[in-house]
Structure 1
Amino acid sequence: MFKSGPSGRRKHHRDLIQADVVSKIRRRANGLDCLRRCANLRSSSRIQGKRMRFNHRPIQILVEPSDYVLRNIGDMAMLYAATERLARLCDNSTINVLTDDPDALRRFCPFAIPLSAEGRALWLKPDFRPAKLKRFVPEHWPDRIRRHAPRLVSLFWRLKFRHMPNARAALLRFTDAVDRADLVLVSGMGGITDAFPEYALSVLETLNLALARKGRPVVMVGQGMGPLANAELRARASAILPRLHLIALRETRAGLPLLAELGVSKDRICATGDDAIEMAHEMRVDELGTGIGINLRLSSYSGVSADILEGLRHVLGATSVSLEAPLIGVPVSLEPCEADIDSIRGLMPTDETELNRALAIRTPNDLIRQIQRCRVVVTGSYHAGVFALANGIPTIGLARSDYYVDKFLGLADMFGTGCEMVALDHPNSAEKLRSALRRLWEEAPAIRPAILARAEAQIAAGHTAYRRIRDAIWDQG
Structure 2
Amino acid sequence: MAQPQAMLINMGGRGNIGDRAMALNVIRQLREGSPEARLLVGPHTLDFMVEEFDLQRYPYLSHCFSRWGAVEQRLGTKARWLKPLQYLFYCLDSLLVLLLIMLKRLFNWDPGWRFMEAELARAISTSQVVFFCGGGYITDVGRLEARSNLVMAWFATLAGKPVIMSGQGFGPFDSWLSRFLVKLVVPRLDTITFRDVEGSEQLLQQLGVEIGQGKAVGDDAMSLPERQVEQTGQTDAPVKLGVNFRISPFTPNLEQRVEAFTRFLSLASNQLGWQIHFYIFETWRPWEEGLVDSIITDGELKDVVIHKTEDPREALYLTRQCDVAIGISYHFIVFALKLGIPVLALFTGEYYRAKMSGLLAWYGKGDWVVPVQQMEAEALLSQCQVMLEQREQTRQPLVDKTVEMAKNSRVTIDRALHFLNAGQR
TM bucket, shorter chain: 0.7 to 0.9
Taking a change above 3 Å as real, the CA distance of residues 91 and 84 of structure 1, as seen in their structure-2 partners, is: same
1:209 is aligned to 2:158: no
Counterpart for residue 178 of structure 1: 124
1:394 is aligned to 2:313: no
- Quick one: distance in 2 between partners of 1:301 and 1:79? 29
| Structure holding more helix per residue | 1
1:318 is aligned to 2:262: no
Residues 109-138 of structure 1, C-alpha deviation per residue, up to 9 Å, x if partnerless? x22422232776226878xxxxxxxxxxx9
1:227-238 equivalences under 5 Å are 227-238=172-183
Residue identity in the other structure for 1:461: N
1:299 is aligned to 2:248: yes
Residues 201-260 of structure 1, C-alpha deviation per residue, up to 9 Å, x if partnerless? 11111111111112x210111222222233321122111122111122111231121122
1:114 is aligned to 2:56: yes
Taking a change above 3 Å as real, the CA distance of residues 451 and 240 of structure 1, as seen in their structure-2 partners, is: same
- Quick one: distance in 2 between partners of 1:264 and 1:419? 31
Taking a change above 3 Å as real, the CA distance of residues 394 and 276 of structure 1, as seen in their structure-2 partners, is: same
Select the structure of larger CA radius of gyration: 1
- Contact (CA 8 Å) 1:395, 1:418: kept in 2 or not? no
- Quick one: distance in 2 between partners of 1:113 and 1:181? 14
- Quick one: distance in 2 between partners of 1:114 and 1:352? 46
- Quick one: distance in 2 between partners of 1:103 and 1:474? 26
2:17 aligned to 39, 58, 73, which one?
A: 73
- Quick one: distance in 1 between partners of 2:413 and 2:311? 24
1:450 aligned to 373, 397, 402, which one?
A: 397
Secondary structure of the residue that 1:196 maps to in structure 2?
helix
Counterpart for residue 151 of structure 1: 98
- Contact (CA 8 Å) 2:191, 2:213: kept in 1 or not? yes
- Quick one: distance in 2 between partners of 1:112 and 1:264? 37
Higher alpha-carbon deviation: 261-270 or 87-96: 261-270
1:373 is aligned to 2:317: no
- Contact (CA 8 Å) 1:375, 1:441: kept in 2 or not? yes
Secondary structure of the residue that 2:323 maps to in structure 1?
strand
- Contact (CA 8 Å) 2:241, 2:324: kept in 1 or not? yes
Residues 368-395 of structure 1, C-alpha deviation per residue, up to 9 Å, x if partnerless? 2331121111101111111111101011
Counterpart for residue 40 of structure 2: 96
- Quick one: distance in 1 between partners of 2:186 and 2:379? 39
Taking a change above 3 Å as real, the CA distance of residues 112 and 473 of structure 1, as seen in their structure-2 partners, is: same
Counterpart for residue 20 of structure 1: none
1:265-344 equivalences under 5 Å are 265-280=210-225, 290-299=239-248, 305-336=254-285, 339-344=287-292
Counterpart for residue 239 of structure 1: 184
- In the superposition, the TM-score normalised over structure 1's length comes to 0.72
Residues 304-339 of structure 1, C-alpha deviation per residue, up to 9 Å, x if partnerless? 9454211111122213445432111011111316x4
- Quick one: distance in 2 between partners of 1:152 and 1:454? 46
The alignment covers a number of residue pairs equal to 392
Secondary structure of the residue that 1:61 maps to in structure 2?
strand
Unmatched 5+ stretches in structure 2? 69-83, 104-110, 229-237
- Contact (CA 8 Å) 1:98, 1:117: kept in 2 or not? yes
- Contact (CA 8 Å) 1:68, 1:101: kept in 2 or not? yes
- In the superposition, the TM-score normalised over structure 2's length comes to 0.80
Counterpart for residue 193 of structure 1: 139
- Quick one: distance in 2 between partners of 1:206 and 1:304? 39
Residues 74-125 of structure 1, C-alpha deviation per residue, up to 9 Å, x if partnerless? 1111111111111222344111112135624425xx2242223277622687
Q: CA deviation at 1:418?
A: 8.6
- Quick one: distance in 1 between partners of 2:226 and 2:394? 16
Residue identity in the other structure for 2:6: I
- Contact (CA 8 Å) 1:145, 1:152: kept in 2 or not? no
Q: CA deviation at 1:430?
A: 4.2
- Contact (CA 8 Å) 1:412, 1:418: kept in 2 or not? yes
Residue identity in the other structure for 1:213: A
Secondary structure of the residue that 1:66 maps to in structure 2?
coil
Unmatched 5+ stretches in structure 1? 1-55, 127-137, 157-164, 284-288
Higher alpha-carbon deviation: 410-419 or 180-189: 410-419
Residues 146-199 of structure 1, C-alpha deviation per residue, up to 9 Å, x if partnerless? 88996227689xxxxxxxx99843332221111011101111221011211111
Counterpart for residue 354 of structure 1: 304
Higher RCO (CA-CA < 8 Å; seq separation 6+): 2
2:369 aligned to 407, 421, 425, which one?
A: 421
Q: CA deviation at 1:415?
A: 2.1
Taking a change above 3 Å as real, the CA distance of residues 115 and 253 of structure 1, as seen in their structure-2 partners, is: same
- Contact (CA 8 Å) 1:301, 1:403: kept in 2 or not? no
2:5 aligned to 60, 85, 94, which one?
A: 60
- Contact (CA 8 Å) 1:380, 1:397: kept in 2 or not? yes
